Amino acid sequence: MPLVLGIESTAHTFGVGIASEKGEILANVNSVYRPIAGGIKPSEAAEHHSRVAPVVLRRALEAAGVSLDSIDAIAVALGPGLGPCLRVGATLARYLASLLGKPLVPVNHAVAHIEIARLSTGLKDPVVVYVAGGNTVITTFVEGRYRVFGETLDIALGNLMDTFAREVGLGFPGVPKVEELAARGKNLIPLPYSVKGQDVSYSGLLTAALRLYREKRYSLEDLCYSLVETAYSMLVEVAERALAHTGKSEVVLTGGVARSPVLSDKLAKMARARGARFAAVDPELAGDNGAMIAYTGALAYASGLTIPVEESRVRPLWRLDEVEVPWRRQTSAAIT
């Protein structure tokens, strides 16, 4: 069984995973950069990645109980993400591929979140709700690719929650902190509910929530409750339309915010009302991780998808719907 080593470094996480195409995860070792104050600083995150890379790589090999020689291909998340961070993972991947004389496999980070969710939940052809610190996308597989059926027009859902939590002194990560207070909220305060066609916009919601916080007109519990209800309902509305439009019968939640029990519950209710199955990715595999890059790399490698080292430039803005997904093409007729 070919083994693929995957490297993740698109944002705050540096991770190395080792996996097979059949979905065996032999290793998943990750190290997360945490800024002391404020948001992620790309150069500091990249510095963190460079520092921890040798240790993370060694621990992953130890966890899998394999040597570098027994790895068949090196996969790397080439995008989307922050340039300085992406370059750390790409440099290590190129080095390993050249040193070992093994093929290099390009992986799109968003596709990896989707594939690990399908593996983890067993759902075959779901509408995917991918929500994280830097991404908010509703997507599903149609005619050979993951097509986008809605996304944020400005900031991501995770970013909205993290920024709000930080500004009101709740700390990081934002989602669990805001949800904890939201559970004690009772009154729904009107906040901007901004769905434009199939897209959502969260920046106006963030501005309004912070303004109300500074005006001290409402309790923080009520404000958190209203923020959660408004932000999540926008996403559920768009996901429901994508489900209706595509006629699919499954919904999966993936990405760092997939650990949210509140969002899971809302999506589960929507799916149930439409006769669809719902599942969220395993919390261990929800945030950025090396295993999802290794597994998606293994799928790609089994489909013959490799890239010469000299063409392996990083792609900070690599869109999900630009990516070839040959491993699903063979089975798409039976699935969709």
d(CA 99, CA 277): 45
Cα distances (Å, whole numbers) of residue 247 to 129, 157, 243, 253, 274: 16, 26, 6, 18, 10
Residues of this chain that interact with Fe ion (CB under 5 A) are: 132, 288
CB of 175 to Fe ion, least distance (A): 14
Minimum distance of Fe ion from residue 299's CB (angstroms): 18
Smallest separation (angstroms) from Fe ion to the CB of 133: 7
CA dist 197 and 287 (Å) reads 28
Residues whose CB falls within 8 Å of the CB of residue 278, separated by 6 or more in sequence, listed in order: 250, 251, 252, 253, 264, 267, 268, 270, 271, 272
Q: Which residue has the tokens 């209706």?
A: 244
Q: Output the six-digit token pair for 254.
A: 């993936």
d(CA 27, CA 160): 32
Least distance from Fe ion to the Cβ atom of residue 114, Å: 11
Cα 160 from chain centroid?
A: 15
Task: Compute the chain's Rg from CA coordinates.
Answer: 20
CB of 288 to Fe ion, least distance (A): 4
Nearer to Fe ion, 222 or 288 (CB): 288
Extract the tokens encoding 9: 């470094």
Please state the closest distance from residue 95 (CB atom) to Fe ion, in A.
Answer: 24
Q: How far is the CB of 293 from Fe ion (least distance, A)?
A: 10
Q: Cβ closer to Fe ion: 159 or 306?
A: 159
Q: Which amino acid is at 132?
A: A
Six token digits for residue 108: 């799109």
CB-nearer residue toward Fe ion: 117 or 168: 117
Q: How far, in Å, CA of 303 to CA of 65, rounded?
A: 26
Q: What are phi and psi of 252, to 5 degrees?
A: -125, 145
CB nearer to Fe ion: pick between 117 and 243: 117
Closer residue to Fe ion (CB): 180 or 322: 322
Q: Of the two residues 136 and 230, which places its CB atom closer to Fe ion in the complex? A: 136
Considering the complex, state which of residue 132 and residue 175 has its C-beta at the smaller distance from Fe ion: 132
Q: What is the helix (H) or strand (E) element at residue 195, kind and residue range?
A: strand 195-196
